[in-house]
């Protein structure tokens, strides 16, 4: 979409495209001489300089104070991605790497995504990541209990995504098989199949009543249930090829790199960004467009992975603003399409349904 209307002539677009691609490749400011010599524009160097000045006034280029050349601004990169990007033709070797991944009939979604992020990192030379997004609607389908001794038992929780979690519960309450059997029965009747927000005070009071008013036992059990649902609902972020960031001068500042690495450690902001995206395409988030403040000088590109109409994960890369967008978009689109196809195969579904989600 041309956000700049008639203000961006074909010549301006040609010059902007040339500057973006030259800067992506070399990392240095680009001057009018390079544009004239490399692109064979039928105009003078002075005309190109005037056009570059106008592109700067429009906010699409910036001029580092130490150089006569220009570099793209974040808006310039955005316009390039939206309007000027040419489709990247993947090489036979790149396609072979992706196809090799697809030959591994992995049953677990986590392993598929993790492998895909490594392939994305390898093919693009940026840091790859895989996300299992927040589910927003995870519940416990079934509760079971197993007595350990008179003051402890194991609480077993079977989640709606097929995951099984256990918690060792210790309590001052005198326990026996009848007590913990009554507890699991009450949990299955009153708490099972409810999302966290639906487990209200009346439900907890009913649970206490069923357990002879033992609020200490109920509070201990409910705390464990909330913790487990939080873990299951929390999403996962796995990163591949962090060291690739060190190849780019943009990340030579140790404080800035440390903040970026911290975003991967904390993960919540990136998980929110991906989980809240409904777009079934490759998403490009350039710098300050993102709610993740520490990637202000980076670009995050990701492709949601769908299974049965539901987003079950995402793969992506993070790198400098001067990213090879055409290669990255083609790689993630190809990878994402192959994973979606893999997830739809009957063989995978039979093995992997318990892991979707």
Where residue 322 sits, what CATH number does that domain have? 3.30.450.40
Predicted pLDDT at 7: 66
Predicted pLDDT at 1: 45
Asked if 294 contacts 263 with a C-beta cutoff of 8 angstroms, the reply is yes
Mark whether 210 and 105 lie in a shared domain.
Answer: no
197, HSE (Cβ side, Cα atoms, 13 Å): 4
Predicted pLDDT at 133: 73
Mark whether 246 and 350 lie in a shared domain.
Answer: yes
Mark whether 229 and 306 lie in a shared domain.
Answer: no
Six-digit token string for 309: 């109409």
Predicted pLDDT at 352: 40
Residue with tokens 């299951």: 232
Mark whether 340 and 249 lie in a shared domain.
Answer: yes
What 3-state class would DSSP assign to 94? helix
322 burial type by CB count under 10 A (0-12 exposed, 13-18 middle, 19+ buried): buried
Mark whether 184 and 301 lie in a shared domain.
Answer: no
Asked if 106 contacts 220 with a C-beta cutoff of 8 angstroms, the reply is no
Residue 320: count of CB within 10 angstroms of its CB: 17
> pTM for the full model?
0.72
Where residue 150 sits, what CATH number does that domain have? 3.30.390
Residue 342: C-alpha distances to residues 92, 109, 210, 235 (Å): 20, 10, 47, 22
Domain enclosing residue 276, as ranges:
92-134+235-355
Predicted pLDDT at 105: 60
Residue 85: count of CB within 10 angstroms of its CB: 16
Task: Give dist(CA 121, CA 97) in Å, integer.
Answer: 12
Residue 318: C-alpha distances to residues 96, 132, 196, 238, 254 (Å): 23, 17, 33, 12, 17
Task: Give dist(CA 26, CA 271) in Å, integer.
Answer: 32
Predicted pLDDT at 355: 40
Task: Give dist(CA 248, CA 263) in Å, integer.
Answer: 18
Mark whether 115 and 162 lie in a shared domain.
Answer: no
Asked if 132 contacts 312 with a C-beta cutoff of 8 angstroms, the reply is yes
Predicted pLDDT at 40: 66
Of the residues 233, 249, 273, which one is the last residue of a structural domain? 233
pLDDT tens for the 357 residues of the chain, in order? 455 555 689 999 999 999 999 999 988 899 988 888 876 677 888 899 999 999 999 999 998 877 778 999 999 999 999 999 999 999 999 999 888 877 766 667 778 888 899 999 999 999 999 988 766 677 889 999 999 999 999 999 998 877 788 999 999 989 999 999 999 999 999 999 988 778 888 999 999 999 998 889 999 999 999 888 877 777 788 899 988 988 888 888 777 788 778 777 767 778 877 777 777 889 999 988 877 766 778 899 999 988 777 788 899 999 999 999 999 999 999 999 888 888 777 654 433 444 443
Task: Give the strands of the sheet with 298-307, arranged side by side.
Answer: 236-240, 127-132, 310-320, 298-307, 283-286
* DSSP structure string for 74-125: HHHHHHIIIIIPPPP---HHHHHHHHHHHHS----HHHHHHHHHHHHHHHHS
Residue 206: count of CB within 10 angstroms of its CB: 16
Mark whether 126 and 69 lie in a shared domain.
Answer: no
Where residue 39 sits, what CATH number does that domain have? 1.10.10.10
């Amino acid at each position: 979409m041309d956000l700049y209307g008639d203000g961006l002539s074909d010549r301006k677009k040609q010059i902007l495209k040339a500057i973006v691609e030259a800067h992506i490749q070399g990392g240095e400011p680009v001057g009018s001489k390079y544009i004239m010599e490399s692109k064979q524009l039928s105009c003078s160097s002075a005309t190109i300089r005037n056009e570059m000045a106008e592109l700067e006034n429009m906010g699409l280029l910036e001029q580092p104070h130490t150089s006569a050349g220009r570099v793209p601004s974040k808006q310039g990169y955005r316009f390039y991605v939206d309007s000027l990007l040419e489709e990247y033709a993947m090489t036979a070797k790149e396609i072979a790497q992706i196809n090799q991944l697809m030959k591994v009939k992995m049953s677990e979604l986590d392993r598929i995504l993790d492998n895909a992020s490594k392939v994305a990192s390898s093919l693009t030379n940026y840091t790859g990541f895989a996300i299992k997004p927040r589910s927003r609607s995870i519940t416990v389908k079934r509760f079971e209990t197993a007595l350990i001794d008179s003051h402890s038992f194991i609480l077993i929780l079977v989640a709606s995504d097929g995951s099984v979690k256990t918690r060792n519960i210790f309590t001052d309450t005198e326990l026996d098989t009848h007590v913990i059997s009554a507890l699991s029965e009450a949990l299955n009747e009153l708490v099972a199949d409810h999302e966290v927000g639906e487990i209200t005070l009346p439900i907890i009071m009913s649970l206490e009543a069923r357990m002879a008013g033992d609020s200490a036992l109920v509070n201990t059990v409910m705390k464990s249930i909330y913790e487990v649902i939080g873990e299951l609902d929390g999403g996962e972020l796995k990163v591949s090829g962090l060291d690739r960031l060190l190849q780019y001068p943009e990340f030579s500042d140790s404080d800035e790199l440390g903040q970026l690495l911290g975003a991967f450690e904390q993960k919540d902001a990136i998980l929110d960004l991906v989980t809240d995206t409904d777009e079934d395409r490759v998403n490009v988030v350039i710098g300050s467009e993102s709610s993740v403040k520490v990637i202000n000088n980076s670009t995050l590109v990701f492709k949601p992975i769908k299974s049965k109409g539901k987003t079950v994960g995402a793969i992506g890369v993070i790198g400098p603003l001067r990213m090879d967008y055409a290669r990255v978009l083609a790689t993630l689109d190809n990878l994402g399409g192959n994973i979606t196809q893999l997830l739809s195969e009957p063989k995978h579904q039979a093995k992997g349904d318990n892991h979707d989600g």
